[in-house]
Every structure is written in C-alpha cells, then in structure tokens.
Amino acid sequence: MLDYIDLLLEEEVEEAQGFRHSAVKTDTRKSPSRRTQYSQERWVVNKLRALGSWYTRGSHGGSQLRIAINQAVTVSELTDVIKGHFFEGRPWS
C-alpha cells in the first residue's frame, strides 16, 4: 500500500509533454492541466480509502484499520496509519 501511495503521488509528475493523449475537451473554460498538490493528495487519500476497504476485509484488525484509513485526511496521516498497523502492530480504536 505504501508503494502504491508513492506511485499515485508521482503520477503525471515526471511525464514528458505530450506523453498522454486525451480526448478533446469541448468546454471552453480554462482548466489546469495538472492537479494542485492538495488535490493530488486528496485524490490519493480517496483512492486508498476505496482500495483499503476492499483489501482489508477479513484480515485481523481490518475493521479498525478501515475506520482509521477513512478518518485520515492527509497522505501523511494515511501512511502513519498503514505503517502503524502493518509494521508496529498498533491497534486502532
């Protein structure tokens, strides 16, 4: 999960211009081509919430881990929760 967080955070960061092709937008309003750091982190947290719910079902302490993951607001909090559960055996209440 920690490697996946790093992968998601680096998405679109080191890509050369024109690397990804996208459909032509019909909206004439200007939109930023890249996410802001806040929105990128928010996207990563939401992505991990969805995946965490799926992959922690049936595991020991999974229910408490899911609650802690869903309460995390930042990527830093999320990594602390994951490290605490898997590497430190920290119970979540």
The answer to whether residue 24 sits within a structural domain is: no
DSSP 14: S
The answer to whether residue 51 sits within a structural domain is: yes
78 exposure class (CB count in 10 Å sphere: 0-12, 13-18, 19+): buried
Domain that holds residue 83: 1-8+36-93
pLDDT digits (tens, 9 = 90+) for 10-56: 876 555 565 555 565 555 555 555 568 888 899 999 999 999 888 88
The answer to whether residue 20 sits within a structural domain is: no
What pLDDT, on the 0 to 100 scale, is given for residue 13? 56
> Would the pTM of this model clear 0.75, i.e. be above it?
no
For the chain, how many structural domains are there in total? Answer: 1
The answer to whether residue 50 sits within a structural domain is: yes
The answer to whether residue 26 sits within a structural domain is: no
The answer to whether residue 48 sits within a structural domain is: yes
Sequence-distant contacts of 35-38: CB under 8 A, at least 24 apart: none
pLDDT digits (tens, 9 = 90+) for 60-80: 889 999 999 999 999 999 999
The answer to whether residue 73 sits within a structural domain is: yes
The answer to whether residue 31 sits within a structural domain is: no
